[in-house]
Amino acid sequence: MARQLEEQIVGRFPVGRRLRVLDVGMGRGAQALRLARAGHQVTGVEHDAAMIATARESLAGEPEGIRERMRIIEGQAGDTGVHFLPGSFDVVLCHGVLMQVEEPDALLAGVARMLAPGGLVSLLVRNGDAAAMRAGVAGDWAGALAGFCTATYGLKRLTSTLAGIGAPLHAWYGVRVFTDTVVDDGVPSSDLDALLTVEDRAGRTDPYRGVASLLHLCGVRG
């Protein structure tokens, strides 16, 4: 996913431009820290104290210049309108958050308001179009049947939602096409490069990306 995000940023903004980035629900701060290392000014918002502690610990080990470029705010994903003015950011990340809030459409509208004209929003969501896949591959037939009836975000609905909030879909990818059932430490380091290459290829190729566990969607503010 980091490769996909970098591809969109490099293709969207002039080389060398330092971007204002907001990471809504930053978790442990992996993407936020990666962007701060790349020279961008990053603000992360997170409500989970344990994840904030992990992010701060990771940040503390970085050089001073990187520490100065990253700010961490404790708060809910829906509180962005309280902390920031509309149009305050060039890039807004919202990864793994929509499935955890009661009103995802309202959150997305708030996220779009934070974007400056021409800004990029990056969403990572469970793929509602393939909700039965993981359970089916694992032989959980009851779970697979339930997945067919799950009312979650899919590509069509998200495309419509992004258009409705003024940040139409610009590009989309699949994430975890082949590896959704693989535990995080289940891949030998010698195979990791090959795995990432295959996943990267599948995540941008039909029909594979359509059955990925996660969807990575990028919209652009009009």
CA angle 222, 34, 114 (to 5 degrees): 30
Q: Is residue 121 part of a domain?
A: yes
H-state helical runs in the chain:
2-12, 30-37, 49-60, 64-69, 80-83, 104-113, 133-137, 141-148, 155-164, 189-202
Q: Is residue 196 part of a domain?
A: no
3 state DSSP class of 181: coil
Residue count (the chain) = 222
CATH number at residue 9: 3.40.50.150
CB 114 within 8 A of CB 80: yes
Residue 161 in this model has a pLDDT that exceeds 80? yes
Q: Is residue 142 part of a domain?
A: no
Q: What is the pTM of this model?
A: 0.91
Task: Read off the pLDDT band of 186 (50, 70, 90).
Answer: low
DSSP state for residue 22 in the 8-state scheme: E
pLDDT at 22: 96
pLDDT at 75: 87
List all residues 6 or more positions away from 202 whose beta carbon is below 8 Å from its beta carbon: 174, 177, 178, 208, 209, 212
pLDDT digits (tens, 9 = 90+) for 50-71: 999 999 999 999 999 999 999 9
pLDDT at 98: 86
**What is the spatial distance between Cα 33 and Cα 190, in angstroms, rounded to a whole number?**
25
Q: Is residue 92 part of a domain?
A: yes
Q: Is residue 139 part of a domain?
A: no
pLDDT digits (tens, 9 = 90+) for 190-213: 788 899 999 999 999 999 999 999
Q: Is residue 14 part of a domain?
A: yes
CB 51 within 8 A of CB 27: yes
3 state DSSP class of 161: helix
Q: Is residue 210 part of a domain?
A: no
Secondary structure in 3-state letters for 119-153: EEEEEEEECHHHCCHHHHHCCCHHHHHHHHCCCCC
Element (H, E) at 24: strand 20-24
Domain count, the chain: 1
Amino acid identity, position 116: A
**What is the spatial distance between Cα 170 and Cα 118, in angstroms, rounded to a whole number?**
11
Residue 151 in this model has a pLDDT that exceeds 70? no
Share the mean pLDDT of the chain.
91
Q: Is residue 200 part of a domain?
A: no
Structural domain of 31 = 2-126+153-177+215-220
